[in-house]
Amino acid sequence: MSKEYKGKITKIEQQIKNKKRYSVYIDDQFAFGISEDLLVRYRLLKGKEIDLTSIGRIIAHEEQNKADNYAIKLLSYRPRTAKELQQKMKEKGYEDSVIENTLSVLKEHNYINDEDFAKSFIKDKMQFRKIGKIRMKQELSQKGVEKNIIHKVMAEHMDSEKELETALALGRKKLETTYKNDDRKAQYRKLGSFLQSKGFAYDMIIKVLNMLLKEQNF
């Protein structure tokens, strides 16, 4: 078809699986699916003539709407970073330009905010998973939070005293259950390895080991 081509909408049919979407036929051939909102916005009616430029614009708008709705759906399940959304949308097959448009709108309306995400993430992990600063930094970095944001948020919401309390609670529980029948050397070794796996720094681990083993009256 040439650029001068104009077709005529011969049928607009409500879709069976989604009553808010419609199938548009041009010259008796299926052309594209469209949401009810865009159908009204572009004033698409049976018998209306439409050119290729308009068709392309409508399809692009529809694709952008789908991308936006998909991202919002993902955010309804749990908060996500910009990088996490970008990866999920790429996996879904959206073009880079469409993804960037979606992320821009979400950032503008504060639906995604990596700093707020980091604050919530730290609070949650400190309360429920109880991990150290090293592990916290690694996990935030893996989720795409920038280093300067990680440093800022951790400095504000994860001080050494809180981390020490977390490490002591974890270690004390291990000594009272899993390692209670081990000798001092075994406790020291196993507990040190356990705390390291939880992302605590070496100096923090040594401090915790000495405090806990002293409590055990060894």
What is the per-residue pLDDT across 127-151, written as a single tens digit (0 to 9) for each? 777 889 999 999 999 999 999 999 9
pLDDT of 15? 93
Q: Are residues 191 and 118 in the same domain?
A: no
Q: 120 lies in a domain?
A: yes
Q: Are residues 61 and 91 in the same domain?
A: yes
Instruction: Answer whether 9's CB lies under 8 Å from 45's CB.
Output: yes
Q: Are residues 174 and 83 in the same domain?
A: no
Please state, as a whole number, how many other Cβ atoms lie within 10 Å of the Cβ of residue 133. 18
Instruction: Answer whether 152's CB lies under 8 Å from 176's CB.
Output: no
Q: 119 lies in a domain?
A: yes
Question: Using one digit for the tens of pLDDT, what is the confidence trace for 181-211?
Answer: 888 888 889 999 999 999 999 999 999 998 8
Question: Using one digit for the tens of pLDDT, what is the confidence trace for 78-126?
Answer: 999 999 999 999 999 999 999 999 999 999 999 999 999 999 998 888 7
Q: Are residues 94 and 59 in the same domain?
A: yes
In what order do the strands lie in the sheet containing 21-26?
29-35, 21-26, 6-14, 49-51
Q: What percent of the chain has pLDDT over 90?
A: 69
Counted domains in the chain:
3
Segments forming the whole domain that contains residue 206: 162-215
Measured distance CA(139)–CA(160) in Å, rounded: 19
Q: Are residues 52 and 89 in the same domain?
A: yes
Q: Are residues 91 and 62 in the same domain?
A: yes
pTM for this model (two decimals)? 0.77
